Amino acid sequence: MDWNVYLSGEIHTDWRQRLKEGCEANNLPVVFTSAVTDHEASDAAGDLLGKEDSKYWRDHKSAKVNAIRTKTLIENCDVAVVRFGDKYKQWNAAFDAGFCAALGTPYITLHDEEIIHPLKELDAAAMAWAKTPEQVVEILKYVMTKA
């Protein structure tokens, strides 16, 4: 069985890359999926259907196009990793965590110790809290390959 792992959240650090490299180094049977992580392209997704004057509706239109991808991939994943960085609101990452919780899809949070209090509801519904991408790799390795 290949495990399908969805990577949600922060797009400004290299955590996805480190996670993927760690899994490859361990030959883990894993397929990664993600939202579009090119910030500008993501904001402009709706423009493919015509420009909007209103900022609100431009965002709305783009977010719906992006949801075709994210909703499908999250619903198909076996496990999600939800990353919170030290900047930005990252409400979409928290939204993804809630979505997983309602579906009963296990997810792992990835964040620093400084933000455990505001993330307590998300950590409580998560199956694990990791501080580094390397820890996530260890967990995935254990889960997927330990006999």
**Cβ partners under 8 Å of residue 57, min gap 6:** none
Nearest one of 39, 44, 29, 45 to 9, comparing CA atoms: 39
21 binds its own copies, rule: CB under 8 A: no
Binding residue for its own copies, selected from 40, 51, 53, 114, defined by CB under 8 A: 53
Q: Is 51 in the site for its own copies (CB under 8 A)?
A: no
Give DSSP secondary structure letters for 16-56.
HHHHHHHHHHTT--EEEEES---HHHHHTGGGGG---SSHH
Tell the smallest beta-carbon distance from residue 79 to its own copies (Å): 6
Per CB under 8 A, contacts with its own copies among 124-143 are 124-131, 135, 138-139, 142-143
Is residue 114 a contact residue for its own copies (CB under 8 A)?
Answer: no
**Minimal distance in Å, beta carbon 20 to its own copies?**
12
Task: Tell me: does residue 85 bind its own copies (CB under 8 A).
Answer: no
